[in-house]
Amino acid sequence: MDITFVLEKFILVAIIFGISLVIAMYSTYAERKVAAFLQDRLGPDRAGPAGMFQPLADGLKMFMKEEIIPTNSNKWLFMVGPGLAMLTACIGTAVIPWGSPIVFDGRIIPLQVTDINVGILYIFGVVSLGVYGVMIGGWASNNKYSLLSAIRAASQNISYEIAMGLSIIALLLVTGTMSLKEVVEQQHGWHWNVLYQPLGFIIFIVCSFAETNRAPFDLPECETELIGGYHTEYSSMKLGFYLFAEYINMFVSSAVMAALYFGGYNYPGMDWVLVHAGTVIAPLIGAGVFFAKIFAFIFFFMWVRWTIPRFRYDQLMHLGWKMLTPLAIANIIITGIVIALIEKF
């Protein structure tokens, strides 16, 4: 454990943390712009050129707002809730490989904070923890709408985790490893997993919509039924943290989808680029491609949000348990049979 190694990792963590915060911040802006464009409007365009400073203004407003803690709430847990939501949203980025390692001056700098050999399961675990922030916040508010919303969030997340996990199992049958780095390296060039696992990808993306509480599965913050959902009682930056955590979750799940199914930093013709651009520039181009894929997914999240109406709660449960789960099991069986046949012949 030499000092340069620690320094390297520290800088990488700081950069990734900064990037995910900035992306989450500008996702709020992008969401409003995309919504506006999809509805033939303009969206925010007053603060700065084309409204570019809107997120800064919104953040400032959030900080300046009065902080209200309900009298009969559980103060300690009321404060822990948003922090926990933010924490679980941020730590998911630790195992995502952002690019192939940079070779600079004979030194290999991996663009990944840590490569643990249970990377996929780690992400899965972090996602399953994400519900605590919502549950604790909703319960501590001492408000029945918040509590109902927290319970909805919990049952929705648990239900969709099952289908999500099963769809990942089929992917693991194809890749044979749980390390995200190896999964991405296997998809060199255009051998993206989505070509081998189209059904699994559809199940995964539907589940990630449900896990991030995004429309059409945004029942935990369903305004028509639950006022503001679990953050009804929240104000100021605590509310900001909840909203922010949702966007970071969206960013992380887009990154996971891009890494697992859409080849991460791989793109057709990357070998040619590696030869011609050198070992420092090429990985950075790869990282750029990865981010382009992430942004495409974030756009897709927003596109869907402004297209599809919210599901009813029983429809949500029906879809999760009686459609996606059997479909995911069928996907595992089909994948297993195909792999066995390929190995046989």
Partner 1 sequence: MEPLTSKKKVLEQKPLTFAERMYLPAITKGLSITISHFFKKEATIRYPEVEREFSTNFRGMHSLKRDENGKERCTACGLCALSCPAEAITMIAAERKPEEKDLYREEKYASVYEINMLRCIFCGLCEEACPKEAIYLDGPIVPSDYLRKDFIYGKDKLVEAPLVQK
Partner 2 sequence: MGTSVFYIVAALSVFFSLMVIFSKNPVHSVLYLIVTFFTFTVHYILLNAQFLAVVNFIVYMGAIMVLFLFVLMLLNLNKDNEPLKSPLVKILGIIAGCCLIVTLIGSLKATALSNPLLLQNPNLGLIKNLGKELFGPFMLPFELSSILLLTAMVGAVLLTKKEKV
* Cβ nearer to partner 1, comparing 214 with 231: 214
* Cβ nearer to partner 2, comparing 34 with 183: 183
Q: Give the closest residue to 301 by CA, choosing from 21, 22, 38, 19.
A: 38
Q: Which entry of partner 2, partner 1, none binds 202, CB below 5 to 8 A by partner kind?
A: partner 1
- Contacts with 80 (C-beta within 8 Å, 6 or more apart), sequence order: 136, 140
Q: Let me know: does 258 contact 194? Beta carbons within 8 Å.
A: no
Q: Which entry of partner 1, partner 2, none binds 307, CB below 5 to 8 A by partner kind?
A: partner 1
Q: What is the largest CA-CA distance in the chain?
A: 70
Q: SS3 of 28, please? A: helix
37 near partner 1, judged by CB under 8 A: yes
52 near partner 1, judged by CB under 8 A: no
* Cβ nearer to partner 2, comparing 158 with 292: 158
CB of 341 to partner 1, least distance (A): 27
- Cis? peptide before 283, omega within 30° of 0: no
Instruction: Give the whole-angstrom CA distance, residue 85 versus residue 176.
Output: 32
CB of 108 to partner 2, least distance (A): 23
Between 188 and 227, how does the x/- string for binding to partner 1 read (CB under 8 A)?
--------------x-------------------------
Instruction: Give the whole-angstrom CA distance, residue 279 versus residue 289.
Output: 16
Site residues, partner 2 (CB under 8 A): 77, 116-118, 121-122, 124-125, 128-129, 131-132, 135-136, 139, 147, 150-151, 154-155, 157-158, 161, 178, 321-322, 325
Helix (H) or strand (E) holding 117: none
Phi, psi of 108, deg, nearest 5: -95, 120
* Cβ nearer to partner 2, comparing 55 with 130: 130
CB of 245 to partner 2, least distance (A): 17
Q: Let me know: does 234 contact 274? Beta carbons within 8 Å.
A: no
Instruction: Give the whole-angstrom CA distance, residue 245 versus residue 175.
Output: 30
* Cβ nearer to partner 2, comparing 61 with 75: 75
Q: Which entry of partner 1, partner 2, none binds 201, CB below 5 to 8 A by partner kind?
A: none
Could you list the residues that contact partner 1 (CB under 8 A)? 34, 36-42, 45, 202, 303-304, 306-308, 319
